[in-house]
Structure 1
Amino acid sequence: MVYLRHWLAGGALLLPLVVAVDPRLCQTGNEKLPESQFTLKEVEDSFLPELSEIFVQTNSNVSVADVLDSANRALVQKSPPLGNGHPVESWAWNSGDEATSKWYPQGVTSSGDALAAGKWDGREAWIVTWYQKTGGKNVRLSFVDRDTHQYRHVLLVEPSAPDDFKPVGIHAGGIMWYGSALYVVDTHGGLRVFDLNHIWKVADGDQVGKKSGGGYSAANYRYVIPQIRKYDWKALQPDSTFSFSWVSLDRSDSPDTLLVGEYTKDDTNTPIRLVKYALDYQTRKLRTTNGVATATFAHCVDILRMQGGYSLGNKFYLGRSNGESKGSDLFVWSPGSSATARSQWLMAGSEDFSFNPSRGEWYTITEHPGKRYIVAYKKL
């Protein structure tokens, strides 16, 4: 509690005014927080069952393998220009995706997240999120075949009626693939979940959703993936904020956990926190009680511009961006200890992280036009 004393002009003391301090906030910048205060409400999409049936009946529901086999673009093997680390792989996008200012890559995950064996239906793949910066609000995913290094973009959509869908207008700063579920961060809202059992083939057309003449389109993308549920922060903490900036999977925890972190640019009075939620391996949902997911870990960490991270054992590996012209920093941190920094170890514009235990390596991507890479590093 904070006690504020108010005095009258004559010097008489009024009763103290007691103001409650939000227990989710950081006082020192590096302290443990009460997990019970970080909750998410699970909300299933009510329109999905009927909408999904339309695509099943028209044989328009396809698989991840179908998307990978229809790849229409190719990565280019290329060494990154900045960074003191030594990647084992680095790939750039094709010339159009490398240069565009309309779309910006943000999050990365792999089939090593999807299943511990490292493959999904016998395929190794990366999935990368892009948010649309100009000309509308959409999120697309790049499905990258790691054998051929060819890829295809797919649009995320949200069911808006039993027979229609709409764009997903979020920043999509991070993604985590867990079984058939894709967890995508919604900066101020929580987590959105999309299901790879529902990949729908649609017709050509500029609009997103049901066409006036029948059928569906998605801004001329061939495939869409619908939202199946969300984990809503605001429903339970309307007066408290948390920035869901990036996300990763930790299989070293038991049960598996989902880690989310906050990006704060330059305001040291704004809390910077790491929070984990337990996952259910069988349902691929967050573990809940009466529809509420409660954190299993919550901690402040005093690292500005944190764009991505993953945890393994008791260690956290966290990236800090330093703008377009300088390499990004890599921090190694354990609760109760000071973080150790590797200055400009990553290339400029480093974003989301993803660890792949099956290969003993981890991934990040970079966002700036002309300097966009998928980069793989060996386990630290």
Structure 2
Amino acid sequence: MIKKRRASGRRPAAIALAAGVPLVALVASVPAVVQPGHAAASTAARDAAPRRADFGLRRGASLDRPLRALGDELATSGVQALINGSGQRRLTGGCAAAAKVPARARTYCFDKADSATRKWYPQGVTTVSDAAVDGRWGAGRPIVVSWHNDGAIRLTFVNPDRHTYRHVLLVYPALRHGEVSYSDIDLHAGGIAWFGDKLYVADTRAGLREFDMRQIFDLGRSRNGSTRHAEWVGRHGGRYYGHGYRYVMPQTGSWQYAHGWAGARCAGRGALRVSWMSIDRTTRVPSLIAGEYCKEREPRGRVATWPLRNGTGLVAGSGRVAYPNWVARLPGDRVQGGVRAHGHWWFTQSHGSRRGTMLQADQRGHRWRNLSKRTISHGPEDLSCYRAQHRVWTLAESPNRRALWGLPAPQCRW
């Protein structure tokens, strides 16, 4: 939420930019693993190269039993039915100016209620280009957004072809006293990444939550489901509820840090605080990307990539642990989203009540080169590369300055 992301000052590079000095002239080649220290944090924590062993992920406990039981109780649906069925909300216009979306961006606006609500805040974004090599999901080309409130998370499936969207509640399944039910998931959901049938959701300190696009339940079509009683979730009196939503999507698994959770604040070492996520399909082996949001006076945030296997997703290796194949320190602080294509990176940075920035850099091993920076919308968040469109997508989270938008990006291509 915005109140947690207030900027605490400007870096010297930002001051130079305001004076008209290009960032590229200031930094021609920045080490990804060694960054200048700030007085408020130890130099050792900042400068130490990230250790891949700290980021190892192990599959969590099985949820097969409650998932099978839910499948016996509720009607199963899928993405196609969800984005094309009745009861959709309409995308609107007019939000780009208020959000200060950059020129040449393609913009989608939520309806009046979703644009203004302070109960729900949009955070993560992923597209069908992440999910599938050909950039299509059946006949659809959806964009997916995650939202959080104080105790629950939901997804929004946007159908650009019809200019419609629908919310889906994410839930945690469990067997209780011999009966299957589900509950809200209390996460920030700052990043999401769609790969094949898998949807990964950032679990800031623990690692990742995993969902399956083939396991979405339609309460409106289930004989014992209900879309009434917005205050209820799970099983009540033999019927299943989802805070009034028609669709609920249960967690199907998790990946948790093998050597302990991340700390409550950025420490520059140990497990990664997963603040944002994305997919890179331009490498020989597709990659899952995850990175940290760290404030200016905290140790510089880190980023890691894990190899993905088509049809499987994350794959455990030695010791049943999935280790990243690349780690580095980020080229900036307050990073809300990051994505890579063909070795080129885009990062969004927030600045409290001021407009955000987009930082771009080229990756050469463990060094950042050709850094550049531009002002973008208010409250920029997660990022996704939509290769068929040659655009990187993000969203502006602020109430009444809220927008889903994609900026032309030549390097975001097949």
The normalised TM-score by structure 2 is: 0.78
- State the alpha-carbon separation in 2 of the partners of residues 272 and 98 from structure 1: 30
Partner SS, residue 351 of structure 1? coil
- State the alpha-carbon separation in 2 of the partners of residues 82 and 27 from structure 1: 39
The counterpart of 2:293, out of the listed 238, 259, 263, is: 263
The one-letter code of the counterpart of 2:343 is N
Q: Is the 8 A contact 1:29 1:301 kept in 2?
A: no
Per the alignment, residue 236 of structure 1 pairs with: 259
Offset at 1:285? 3.0
Partner SS, residue 350 of structure 1? coil
- State the alpha-carbon separation in 1 of the partners of residues 97 and 210 from structure 2: 32
The counterpart of 1:187, out of the listed 192, 204, 211, is: 204
Does residue 210 of the first structure (1) align with residue 240 of the second (2)?
no
Aligned ranges for residues 44-123 of structure 1 at < 5 Å?
A: 44-46=61-63, 49-58=64-73, 60-70=75-85, 71-78=87-94, 79-81=96-98, 85-123=102-140
Does residue 143 of the first structure (1) align with residue 168 of the second (2)?
no
Does residue 175 of the first structure (1) align with residue 200 of the second (2)?
no
Q: Percent identity?
A: 28
Query: What does the per-residue CA deviation read over 1:313-369, in whole Å, with 9 as the maximum and x for residues that have no partner?
Result: 22221111112332433332423235623231x211000000022222220011000
The counterpart of 2:306, out of the listed 257, 267, 277, is: 277
Moved more, 237-246 or 123-132: 237-246
Distance of aligned partners of 1:128 and 1:294 in 2 relative to their CA distance in 1, 3 Å threshold: same
Per the alignment, residue 17 of structure 2 pairs with: none
Per the alignment, residue 7 of structure 1 pairs with: none
Query: Between Structure 1 and Structure 2, how many residues are aligned?
Result: 347
The one-letter code of the counterpart of 1:298 is V
The structure richer in helix per residue is 2
Offset at 1:306? 0.2
- State the alpha-carbon separation in 2 of the partners of residues 111 and 301 from structure 1: 26
Offset at 1:147? 0.3
Does residue 304 of the first structure (1) align with residue 319 of the second (2)?
no
Partner SS, residue 259 of structure 2? coil
The one-letter code of the counterpart of 1:64 is V
Q: Is the 8 A contact 2:55 2:271 kept in 1?
A: no
Does residue 197 of the first structure (1) align with residue 211 of the second (2)?
no
- State the alpha-carbon separation in 1 of the partners of residues 90 and 43 from structure 2: 45
Partner SS, residue 229 of structure 1? strand
Distance of aligned partners of 1:241 and 1:26 in 2 relative to their CA distance in 1, 3 Å threshold: farther
Query: What does the per-residue CA deviation read over 1:146-202, in whole Å, with 9 as the maximum and x for residues that have no partner?
Result: 101201110001112261111110000011111111101011111101111100122
Distance of aligned partners of 1:60 and 1:325 in 2 relative to their CA distance in 1, 3 Å threshold: same
- State the alpha-carbon separation in 2 of the partners of residues 143 and 45 from structure 1: 27
Distance of aligned partners of 1:163 and 1:109 in 2 relative to their CA distance in 1, 3 Å threshold: same
Distance of aligned partners of 1:327 and 1:83 in 2 relative to their CA distance in 1, 3 Å threshold: farther
- State the alpha-carbon separation in 2 of the partners of residues 249 and 358 from structure 1: 14
- State the alpha-carbon separation in 2 of the partners of residues 26 and 287 from structure 1: 34
The counterpart of 2:371, out of the listed 340, 354, 370, is: 340
The normalised TM-score by structure 1 is: 0.85
Task: Name the larger-Rg structure.
Answer: 1
Does residue 353 of the first structure (1) align with residue 380 of the second (2)?
no
Distance of aligned partners of 1:342 and 1:199 in 2 relative to their CA distance in 1, 3 Å threshold: same
- State the alpha-carbon separation in 2 of the partners of residues 216 and 288 from structure 1: 39
Q: Is the 8 A contact 1:29 1:271 kept in 2?
A: yes
Partner SS, residue 360 of structure 2? strand
Per the alignment, residue 14 of structure 1 pairs with: none
Partner SS, residue 66 of structure 2? helix
- State the alpha-carbon separation in 2 of the partners of residues 220 and 84 from structure 1: 32
Distance of aligned partners of 1:358 and 1:30 in 2 relative to their CA distance in 1, 3 Å threshold: farther
Offset at 1:57? 3.5
The counterpart of 2:168, out of the listed 128, 137, 154, is: 154
Does residue 289 of the first structure (1) align with residue 318 of the second (2)?
yes
Partner SS, residue 129 of structure 2? helix
Offset at 1:59? 5.7
Distance of aligned partners of 1:245 and 1:51 in 2 relative to their CA distance in 1, 3 Å threshold: same
Aligned ranges for residues 239-258 of structure 1 at < 5 Å?
A: 240-258=270-288
Q: Is the 8 A contact 1:73 1:94 kept in 2?
A: yes
Per the alignment, residue 143 of structure 2 pairs with: 126
Structure 1 segments unaligned to the other structure (5+ residues): 1-24
Offset at 1:58? 4.7
- State the alpha-carbon separation in 2 of the partners of residues 256 and 80 from structure 1: 36
